[in-house]
Amino acid sequence: MEKIQNDTIAAIATPVGEGGIGIIRLSGSGSLKIADGIFEGKHGRNKPSGFLTYTTHYGLIRDKSEKIDEVILTVMRAPKTYTREDVVEINCHSGIVPLRKILELVLARGARIAEPGEFTKRAFLSGRIDLSQAEAVADVVRAKTDLSLKAAMGQLQGGLSKKISSARAGLLNLLADIEASIDFPEEDTGDVPGNMLAGKLDQCRIELEGLLKTFDAGRLLKEGVSAAIIGRPNVGKSSLLNCLVGKERAIVTSVPGTTTDTIEETMDVGGVHIRVIDTAGIGRRGKRPGIIEAEGIRRAGRVMEVSQLLLLVLDGSQPLKAEDRKLLGRIKNRKAIILINKIDLRQKIKSKDLQTAHPAIEISAKKNRNIDKVRAQISREVWGGKIDFTGDAVLTSIRHKNEIGSAVKNLRSAGSSAGSAELASMDIREAINALGRITGETITEDILDRIFDKFCIGK
């Protein structure tokens, strides 16, 4: 396992740009000394190294005689900090120039630029949080809905860690009993009978399989769903997008082919982050499409192929066209909702005429009629219409899913070998290692680097 480095790191911890507050964060044994050299308190040159922990101080950042910015400086002393190192945070005005100049001053006095996620990595390496909690930090930052934030916070607060650690501790105790009976057969070490061993392995396996069952829901919470609005030209796709997201996101005209590229917007449907993608009309426009139109149609087809949910819009004021029928055929084996638009006009299409197993809803995107039914149906298609998120742990990471899956496989193998303590112990050890890779006890440096490389700098 990688050891904590003794150097001091620094980074801008807030998005660079114009705003009220920007933060430069330092962590390491040299943080206070570096702050001493650039901070001047309100009543003279007070040194941060003399400040009490968890105190904030108003003053100036200076580069020799030059005043750089008015700041609020916060001192947090080891070990009760995010990284368990001395930490200094400089709150300055958020602008490219003051942030850059203060960071340059800090670096010139001995700090180095932090790597992506290095503050959180140090929190993990110091033992303040385990690896699954460290990964949850990034999920909290990237949460798009209240439920995705709730799932990330549950993991950050140790909900998943407790379950994994409990299962791992039980397996370690079981392994110790098995190996003691193997190594010291002449002593009364509490030999584990085969039926008892199989029972304990089954109990642990069933608990882990219960966690695996939360992954589909957890993945939806974390990643969301992409929904493509498709249909031939001028059926009301862009009007539907505007209705769903509640703003004039796409240009709407009576001219067929107004949308020539994909337009993406997001919305929260029942706690799930939905990426709604408006596409160019698929089908004939009465003439051979030009280069731009042809590229728009190609992109629409590509989006249609990769989206998890399709919203096929039909013009209910016109009879079904050949292009409509082709699209109905293309969505036959896909998760889709059919929307018969323009019910404010005289109708020539009824849902019963479509002969499809997909749900069909009659709407008017122009008049904003039945759009609430569309949202409700999207929720049903995505998550059965009901979100059951009452547990204290939910899997959101494919890495965690794979490791638990590996542990379950090993425990199943160990159970079938319960009559042979030696064979069972090998499988149990592999299961223990797999669970340890989730919380970080048995993680390798290359996997650790890959995990934290996905973090932003400053976190």
Which residue positions form the known binding site?
25, 89, 128, 234-239, 253-259, 278-281, 459
Closest by Cα among 26, 299, 215 to 36:
26
Q: What is the rounded CA–CA span in Å between residue 184 and residue 321?
A: 81
Q: What is the rounded CA–CA span in Å between residue 432 and residue 171?
A: 7
- For the chain, the C-alpha Rg in angstroms (whole number) is 29
Which residues sit in the known binding site for K(+)?
234, 253, 255, 258
Scanning 114-250, the segments in alpha helix (DSSP H) are: 118-125, 131-142, 146-156, 159-183, 194-212, 215-223, 237-245
195: Cβ–Cβ under 8 A, 6 or more apart, which residues?
Answer: 418
Which residues sit in the known binding site for Mg(2+)?
238, 259
Scanning 285-420, the segments in alpha helix (DSSP H) are: 291-306, 322-330, 371-383, 398-416
Please return the burial class of 187, using the count of CB atoms within 10 Å of its CB with bins 0-12, 13-18 and 19+: exposed
Sheet containing 272-278, strands listed edge to edge, beginning at the edge strand earlier in sequence:
263-269, 272-278, 225-230, 309-315, 336-341, 360-362
Q: Is 216 in contact with 308 (CB distance < 8 Å)?
A: no
Asked whether the CA dihedral 117, 121, 122, 124 is positive or negative, the reply is positive
Q: Is 345 in contact with 317 (CB distance < 8 Å)?
A: yes
| CB-based contacts of 413-419 (< 8 A; 24+ apart in sequence) | 414/201, 415/198, 415/201, 415/202, 415/205, 418/194, 418/195, 418/197, 418/198, 418/201, 419/194
Which residues sit in the known binding site for (6S)-5-formyl-5,6,7,8-tetrahydrofolate?
25, 89, 128, 459
Sheet containing 55-63, strands listed edge to edge, beginning at the edge strand earlier in sequence:
39-41, 55-63, 66-76, 87-94, 19-27, 9-12, 112-113
Q: Helices 194-212 and 398-416 meet at what angle, rounded to 10?
A: 160
359: Cβ–Cβ under 8 A, 6 or more apart, which residues?
Answer: 337, 338, 377, 381
Q: What are phi and psi of 162, to 5 degrees?
A: -60, -40
Please return the burial class of 66, using the count of CB atoms within 10 Å of its CB with bins 0-12, 13-18 and 19+: exposed
Which residues sit in the known binding site for GTP?
234-239, 253-259, 278-281
